[in-house]
Chains A and B, each alone.
Chain A
Amino acid sequence: MFDGPEPIYLQIAQMIRAQVLAGELGEEEQVMSTTQFATTFRINPATAAKAFAELVDEGLLYKRRGLGMFVAPGAREKLLGEHRRRYFDEVLDPALAQADILGIPTADVVAYVLGRSGSVAGPADERPAPAGPVRDHLTHPDPKGP
């Protein structure tokens, strides 16, 4: 756990973001305390506290005095929005650049995308696999979750 190159607190923050995005951590739901984090993952409590501070700054978590940390209302929407914005830069652009290198004509790519858009299986990465019909968020960036 937490073996990436970034500081551990950033990796913890990323894990919580992923849980919120996937709907595993619902809005207004309580997040594990720094003590629970520390003993579960055997890390310094300050490391977990630093991750929380980062997420509070981003507006994804908020503190209820004497109770602990909770997922902020609208946190998932916020993350979905950010990830959708980044999807084109980080996922589609490199894919199209690769298509260019391989000499795949743009028309083929477009035809492939259009051929898929009716199918149930949408682009798998980036999607938290919401229940119900999957919308193609390229053409319908509907921010409402299931």
Chain B
Amino acid sequence: MPPPLPPLPPFAAQVDDVVVRFGRRRDIDVAAGTTHVSDSSTALDGATLAIRPGVITGILGRNGAGKTTLLSLLAGFTRPTSGSVRVGPTGQMEEPWENPWVTSGTLLVRESGDVVDDEKVSWALKYYAAMRPGWDADLAERLLDRFEVDTRKKPTALSRGKRSAVGATIGLASRALLTIFDEVYLGMDAPTRYAFYDELLADYAEHPRTILLSSHLVEEVERLFEDVVVIDRGRVLIAETADEMRSRGVSLTGPAAAVERLAAGREVLHRQQLGGTVQVTLAGALPDDVVAAAQAAGVAVGAVPLQDLFVRLTDHAAPARPGAPESETVPRGALR
């Protein structure tokens, strides 16, 4: 067992121009004297972002966008093909790959729990208790009780949701300086998911640390986030605070004529009509005088859920705005 580590501040992370390619094959054409690279798939294609220490950051992206690759890089499970990844306390960040100092402070919980499955759950708990300097055995016991997990069983004998609950428990009870949950909710029923969110918030408030949470259930988790990262087709589309992302859109609901008058000259992301009532989603925030004018005209000004913004930002079927280069980082206040 390694000697106890001195307490470190929560980890930050910096990813610079990272490319990750999988399954690359280099064929040598002996006759022509050349090499030929083929069959590679690009998971990340020039990703750059910073993760603030001590903050809960949401990692959003569609299937295959590169979320899991990004999270694996931060945890030292994967190496970048090019570019740099650094993790650690601010000012002391190091490359995580094969770096015991960084990885001992980092925990990645992958989908459906990610627990050694040929031993009982109680064995896995003892393993983490020995490996994780910040392990809280009481918390682990309480969480497994709340999630109704039978620790005498092997993970293979548990349902997918219960395996996920074991992963969530290990993630929280380890109190790692960088804790990463990659779609840990899979298979959990709604009451278990909400119990997990509540336990995460309560434990984070008492023991602040850096938490990354990737999820497709944006509506459920958006208020847990202080920062949000949106990954799309291997690139970072957005990396900003959740409030900044929310201010990228605003909705107007009211009589059609009044709504259209207020929306004139603004970028409309979405329009819905029910009889004489129209709801439009506009890009960017509205100036105070327009909000006042809307209210005076009986038009309700509403927030746009992150879920909706996320869908509009990553909907590749939507017509691209002319002049907006694809896969570029979207400037604030602009949406495709």
Contacts A38-B201, A38-B202, A38-B205: A43 and B303 contacting too (C-beta < 8 A)?
Answer: no
For the side of the interface on A, what is the size category?
10 to 19
For the side of the interface on B, what is the size category?
20 to 34
Q: Is B328 an interface residue (CB 8 A)?
A: no
Contacts A39-B198, A42-B197, A44-B226: A5 and B303 contacting too (C-beta < 8 A)?
Answer: yes
Q: List 8 A-B contacts (CB under 8 A).
A: A3-B302, A5-B291, A7-B247, A9-B243, A38-B204, A43-B201, A44-B224, A44-B242
Binding site for B on A (CB under 8 A): 3-9, 34-35, 38-39, 41-47, 94
- CB < 8 Å A-B pair total: 55
**Which B residues, 190 to 236, have Cβ-Cβ distances below 8 Å to chain A?**
194, 197-198, 201-202, 204-206, 223-226
Q: Evaluate contact between A4 and B302: CB separation under 8 angstroms.
A: yes
| Least Cβ–Cβ distance between B263 and chain A, in angstroms | 15
Chain B residues with Cβ under 8 A from A4's Cβ?
A: 302-303
Q: Is B160 an interface residue (CB 8 A)?
A: no
Q: Evaluate contact between A5 and B301: CB separation under 8 angstroms.
A: yes
Cα–Cα distance between A4 and B202 once the two chains are bound (Å): 25
Chain A residues with Cβ under 8 A from B247's Cβ?
A: 7
Chain B residues with Cβ under 8 A from A38's Cβ?
A: 201-202, 204-205
Binding site for A on B (CB under 8 A): 55-56, 194, 197-198, 201-202, 204-206, 223-226, 242-243, 246-247, 250-251, 291, 296, 301-303
Cα–Cα distance between A3 and B223 once the two chains are bound (Å): 11
Cα–Cα distance between A34 and B56 once the two chains are bound (Å): 15
Cα–Cα distance between A44 and B194 once the two chains are bound (Å): 14
Q: Evaluate contact between B302 and A44: CB separation under 8 angstroms.
A: no
| Least Cβ–Cβ distance between A111 and chain B, in angstroms | 27
Cα–Cα distance between A53 and B224 once the two chains are bound (Å): 19
Q: Evaluate contact between B198 and A42: CB separation under 8 angstroms.
A: yes
Q: Evaluate contact between A39 and B201: CB separation under 8 angstroms.
A: yes
